[in-house]
Amino acid sequence: MVGVLDEMENINNFILYGFKYSKQWTLDMGLFVRWKKKDLIDVGIKPTKKMMREILNKKCEESLLWFDEDDYFKKIKKVVDDNWNKEFNPISIKKMLVPKEIINWFINEYKNRKINKNEIKFLFTLYIGYRIKQCFNFKKENLLKFYKDGDKAFLKNNSNIQKSMSIRKIIYLLFDKKYIYIEENGSTFICDFIKDNNLFNDMDEVLEEDKCEVLYTADLYACGDWIWKYMQVHKRCEVCGKLIENSHNRKYCPECAKKKYKYKEETNYFKKITCIDCGKAVVVSTKNNHGEDRCEECSRKVHLNNMKELNKDNYKPQEEKIIKCIDCGKEFTVKGNSKRTRCDDCYKEYVKKKDRERKQKQREFKNSRGDFKGSN
């Protein structure tokens, strides 16, 4: 099973734009080899491996700037040899309907602490791979089997598990939890969670979009991430089970949250008082009230008045100094730690003088380059 879900569209992109160097670069070239071989046979040309290698080299040189024919000769030769005898049966999946009942089964398995984050991503990717195989009528005896070599890229990339976790390690962890069964030779494993669960047996029926979630091509490429993001966005209330909107870090729906966190008059956190300034009966928090019998508005006013009085007591006027101007010799006063050395009139003349000098330097610099007006 190739990690490409719309192969004809990809082939058209290869023809127009060439190849892109990515993790599945060799898979893309293998797909192009199978298609090109069939296309040449339909036209009446007998293709050879040497002809196919020359076509691939030319295509790679057009699209990849760093490509060198001598360095990648062995890699291209291997791609052509591996895909030469394979038939071209293009896969095309635009979207897939997944019943909400099945998605809830995965979420419940995670909530009940049976599987962790990496394992639920891997299991959901197995389920999507099973559905893709089912769409293209694979043999029944191989439908539930996943081969480590052929499906390794699909399972690793699409589940998007942590880099520190290997597929083999997750397979053995799921085997211990009885979600999959490993055969004696160790080359294949069977998805017991699909085979034994009644939810997955009726996949041949026509699915209604109201009772399903739609996964498009981009979601199918990263189905492990999709199920994890779906769990974060679509959380359910722990009390009533309703779907919570904007559910980031929320455990309860608004109605259950009001019942659970309802204000109580006689508790350690809240108390009912009568404001000593305005006379209103209010419920206040014992943590933020500072022990005062006032409402929020009155306590804010009292706090502002106290701060004003405190600032008046600590206010110290700045000292005044008498300084002589360095240009005209007049005396003038400054406050605090001012570093002024000129009076107001002399300072204005000083600024104008500096401005004239700056403009004169700019004119001289332009005239030296020949950028003045009227220059040819």
Q: Quick one: 119 and 194 in the same domain?
A: yes
The whole-number pLDDT of residue 19 equals: 76
The closest alpha carbon to 153, from 167, 140, 141, belongs to: 167
Cα distance between residue 218 and residue 202, in whole Å: 26
What's the number of domains the chain is made of? 4
Task: State pLDDT tens for residues 35-49.
Answer: 889 888 888 888 898
Instruction: Band the pLDDT of 372: cuts 50, 70, 90.
Output: very low
Q: Average pLDDT, whole number, for the chain?
A: 76
Assess whether 338 and 278 both reside in one domain: no
255 falls within a domain: no
* pLDDT level of residue 26 (50, 70, 90 thresholds): confident
Residue-level pLDDT at 70: 78
Note whether residue 224 is domain-resident: yes
Residue 174 lies in a domain: yes
247 falls within a domain? no
Same domain, 110 and 222: yes
What does the pLDDT read at residue 356? Answer: 93
- Residue 90 makes CB contacts below 8 A (sequence gap 6+) with 7, 8, 11, 35
Residue 249 counted as domain residue: no
What percent of the chain is modeled with pLDDT above 70?
Answer: 74
Q: How confident is the model at residue 349 (pLDDT cuts 50, 70, 90)?
A: very high
Whether residues 100 and 216 share a domain: the answer is: yes
Would 376 be classed as within a structural domain? no
- Chain segment 202-216, per-residue pLDDT in tens: 555 567 777 888 887
Q: Mean of the pLDDT values across residues 97-119?
A: 83
69-104: pLDDT as tens digits? 777 888 888 888 888 888 887 777 777 888 888 888
245 located within any domain: no
Whether residue 75 is found in the same domain as residue 122 = no
| Mean pLDDT, range 147-168, rounded to an integer | 62
Which residue range is the domain that position 68 belongs to?
7-83
| Judgement on whether residues 60 and 162 belong to the same structural domain of the protein | no
| Helix residue spans in 44-96 (DSSP H) | 49-63, 73-83
pLDDT in tens, 257-270: 777 665 444 445 66
Domain boundary among 236, 262, 290: 236
Q: Which of 37, 54, 83 is the last residue of a domain?
A: 83
Q: Is 327 inside any structural domain? A: yes
Comparing CA positions, the residue from 139, 102, 108, 112 lying closest to residue 223 is: 102
pLDDT of residue 117: 84
| Residue 352: per-residue pLDDT | 93
Distances (CA, A) of 219 to 5, 174, 263: 11, 24, 44
Check residues 375 and 260 and name the one with the higher pLDDT. 260
- Between residues 365 and 197, which one has the greater pLDDT? 365
Residue 353's pLDDT is what? 92
Task: Say yes or no: 37 and 137 in one domain.
Answer: no
pLDDT confidence of residue 358: 92
Domain boundary, last residue among 217, 236, 255: 236
Expressed in angstroms, the distance from the first to the final Cα of the chain is: 72
- How far does CA 150 lie from the centroid of its chain? 28
The predicted model scores a pTM of 0.48
> Are 113 and 218 found together in one domain?
yes
Q: Does 125 lie in the same domain as 222?
A: yes
189 plus 285 within the same structural domain: no
d(CA 173, CA 368): 79
Tens digits of residue pLDDT in 281-331? 887 776 655 557 788 888 888 888 888 887 777 777 778 888 899 989 889
Do residues 225 and 233 lie in contact, with contact meaning Cβ atoms separated by under 8 Å?
no
Question: Both 288 and 349 in a single domain?
Answer: no
Are residues 207 and 281 both part of a single domain?
A: no
Asked if residue 230 has pLDDT above 60, the reply is: yes
- Asked if pLDDT for residue 179 goes beyond 60, the answer is yes
Higher pLDDT, 287 or 115: 115
CB burial string 216-240: b at 16+ within 10 A, e below: eeebbbbbbbbbbebbeebbbbeee
3 has a pLDDT exceeding 50: no
